[in-house]
């Protein structure tokens, strides 16, 4: 999957070929999805297609119901260029973020608009995968019942904090959910009668996709994303592509060993980054008991200016920095995005982290801008939604044609 709007575009010169037509429709819809309403003349400028090609492409997308055109404002002399708008109620995806505490869900329309957002706590232990499946499909049904009339569902994407095998969505291990070889995507497909594409992804990977496409790293091609939570997840975008590795497990930044012989990690090793900077470590560092307090307590203490909390967070920041320096040397990112609890505590850690980044090699550190997530706890939903939209953006008409039911009809096939 190529992410984002920077695709190489096939020219219409060799017209007549279906491939070229598909690629051109893709280029236009992708731009509208990420940039929102755009005048035809700006589409001409951005794609390099001529005016009549753009007109024919947007008309075709309009006939499919994916965009509509409205007259642009009159500026100066000459006829104003029509403005093309993605129709957020034409197609949508359902995105879910499974964490140790519960499930967040969003119905996201074309153009990336979050039309509904819901959050639900686990009623039983998250260890029971079947209960999590029920929670997800229940939320899917609720959201679909209130989906825009006539809108088509393209699929589900679910974020989990664990190692996910691709493309089949088997969760190989998630120590925090207590899952081992759980065929989560297959279970979700069964529960939704196999009627929709289901994608399951790692939370760090989806966060990286989100920040790259719509967040703090928008426009950057080399991105490192780190999410602090009970565990520490991460994802890496390299030259605009998500780093996957041989089995889809790459980017496990939480298990970088920063302190040999250090704290016991959920993975069984000692001194993993996760064990030193995960929520539990931060809670202990501020002098609280992880069995009685959670990370929200720490965030409140810090906001209130509690000196012990500030000192503890800064001390943890030093270990955050040790890992970041290594990662900057390995990935040479142009931007490092901190999310989750690390994003929330970023203002307190920032001076410590800047010192730590300065320990990385000169050439790499000069480029590594350190920023806080702008998507916060929505990052996994946003990233999942983009993965679920990917097929439509690659082949707009072909993907619509492949769905059950004709475009424009109510299709509530997600219902459990």
Interface residues toward a copy of itself, by CB under 8 A: 14, 17, 163, 165, 172-173, 220-222, 238-239, 241, 243-253, 255-260, 267-269, 322, 325-327, 329-334, 359-364, 366-367
CB-based contact 33:388 (threshold 8 Å): no
Exposure string over 202-233, b if 16+ CB within 10 A, otherwise e = bbbbbbbbbbbbbbbbbebbbbbbbbbbbbbb
How big is the chain by its Cα radius of gyration, in Å? 23
Please give the Cα distance from 23 to 274 (Å, whole number). Answer: 42
What does the DSSP 8-state code read for residue 220?
A: -
Q: What minimum distance in Å lies between the beta carbon of 157 and a copy of itself?
A: 20
Minimum CB–partner distance for residue 111 and a copy of itself (Å): 29
Q: Please, what is the minimum distance in Å from the beta carbon of residue 161 to a copy of itself?
A: 13
Which residues are registered as beta bridge partners of 299? none
Describe the crossing of helices 184-191 and 129-145 by its angle, rounded to 10 degrees.
Answer: 40
The strand pairing partners of 73, in sequence order, are none
Find the shortest distance in angstroms from Cβ 151 to a copy of itself. Answer: 35
- Six-digit token pair at 76? 């100066």
40 vs 365, which CB is nearer to a copy of itself? 365
* Between 92 and 331, CB nearer to a copy of itself: 331
Comparing CA positions, the residue from 323, 203, 202, 332 lying closest to residue 272 is 323
Smaller CB distance to a copy of itself: residue 45 or 264?
Answer: 264
With CA atoms as reference, report the closest residue to 324 among 271, 270, 264, 253: 253
CB of 254 to a copy of itself, least distance (A): 8
Closest CA to 223 of 206, 200, 201: 206
Q: Which residues on adjacent β-strands are paired with residue 233? A: 227
Number of C-alpha atoms within 13 angstroms, CB side, residue 364? Answer: 20
> Dmax of the chain from CA atoms?
73
How many CB atoms are closer than 10 A to CB 171?
A: 25
Rank residues 282 and 360 by Cβ distance to a copy of itself and give the closer one. Answer: 360
Given the complex with a copy of itself, which of 56 and 332 has the nearer CB atom? 332
Which residue, 20 or 412, is less far from a copy of itself as judged by CB? Answer: 20
Q: Shortest distance, CB of residue 129 to a copy of itself, whole angstroms?
A: 17
In this complex, which beta carbon is closest to a copy of itself, that of residue 239 or of residue 289? 239
d(CA 415, CA 76): 51
Distance from C-alpha of 327 to C-alpha of 224, rounded to nearest angstrom: 8
For residue 325, the minimal CB distance to a copy of itself (Å) is: 6
Q: Which is nearer to a copy of itself, 33 or 227 (CB)?
A: 227
CB of 15 to a copy of itself, least distance (A): 12
Q: Smallest distance from the beta carbon of 262 to a copy of itself, in angstroms?
A: 9
The smaller minimum CB distance to a copy of itself, of residues 80 and 183, is found at 183
CA atoms within 13 A on the CB side of 266: 24
Strands (E), 110-231: 113-121, 152-160, 163-165, 170-174, 179-182, 198-202, 223-228
Minimum CB separation from a copy of itself for residue 175, in Å?
Answer: 9
Q: Which is nearer to a copy of itself, 1 or 45 (CB)?
A: 1
Distance CA 64, CA 25 (A): 11
* DSSP H helical ranges for 146-175: none
């Amino acid at each position: 999957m190529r992410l984002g709007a920077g695709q190489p575009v096939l020219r219409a010169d060799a017209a007549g070929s279906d491939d070229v037509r598909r690629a051109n429709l893709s280029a236009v819809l992708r731009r509208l999805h990420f940039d929102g309403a755009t005048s035809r003349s700006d589409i001409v400028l951005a794609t390099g297609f001529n005016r009549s090609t753009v007109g024919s492409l947007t008309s075709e997308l309009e006939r499919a119901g994916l965009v509509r055109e409205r007259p642009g404002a009159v500026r100066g002399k000459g006829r104003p260029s029509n403005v093309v708008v993605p129709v957020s109620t034409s197609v949508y995806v359902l995105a879910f973020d499974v964490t140790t505490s519960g499930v967040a869900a969003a119905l996201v329309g074309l153009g990336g608009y979050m039309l509904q957002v819901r959050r639900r706590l686990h009623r039983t232990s998250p260890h029971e995968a079947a209960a999590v499946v029920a929670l997800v499909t229940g939320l899917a049904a609720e959201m679909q019942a209130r989906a825009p009339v006539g809108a088509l569902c393209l699929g589900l994407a679910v974020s989990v904090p664990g190692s996910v095998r691709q493309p089949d969505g088997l969760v190989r291990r998630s120590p925090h959910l207590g899952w081992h070889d759980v065929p989560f995507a297959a279970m979700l497909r069964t529960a939704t009668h196999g009627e929709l594409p289901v994608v399951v992804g790692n939370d760090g990977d989806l966060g990286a996709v989100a920040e790259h496409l719509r967040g703090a790293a928008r426009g950057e091609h080399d991105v490192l994303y780190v999410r602090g939570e009970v565990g520490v997840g991460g994802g890496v975008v390299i030259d605009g592509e998500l780093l996957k590795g041989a089995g889809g497990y790459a980017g496990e930044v939480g298990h970088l060993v920063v302190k040999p012989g250090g704290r016991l990690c959920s993975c069984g090793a000692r001194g993993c980054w996760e064990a030193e900077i995960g929520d539990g470590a931060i809670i202990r560092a501020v002098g609280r008991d992880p069995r009685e307090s959670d990370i929200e307590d720490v965030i409140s203490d810090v906001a209130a200016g509690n000196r012990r909390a500030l000192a503890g967070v800064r001390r943890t920041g030093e270990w955050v920095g040790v890992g970041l320096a290594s990662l900057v040397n390995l990935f040479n990112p142009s931007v490092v995005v901190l999310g989750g609890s690390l994003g929330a505590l970023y203002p307190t850690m920032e001076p410590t982290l800047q010192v730590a980044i300065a320990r990385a090699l000169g050439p790499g550190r000069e480029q590594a801008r350190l920023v806080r997530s702008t998507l916060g706890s929505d990052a996994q939903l946003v990233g999942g939604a983009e993965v679920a939209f990917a097929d439509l953006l690659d082949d707009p008409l072909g993907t619509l044609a492949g769905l059950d039911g004709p475009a424009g009809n109510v299709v509530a096939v997600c219902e459990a």
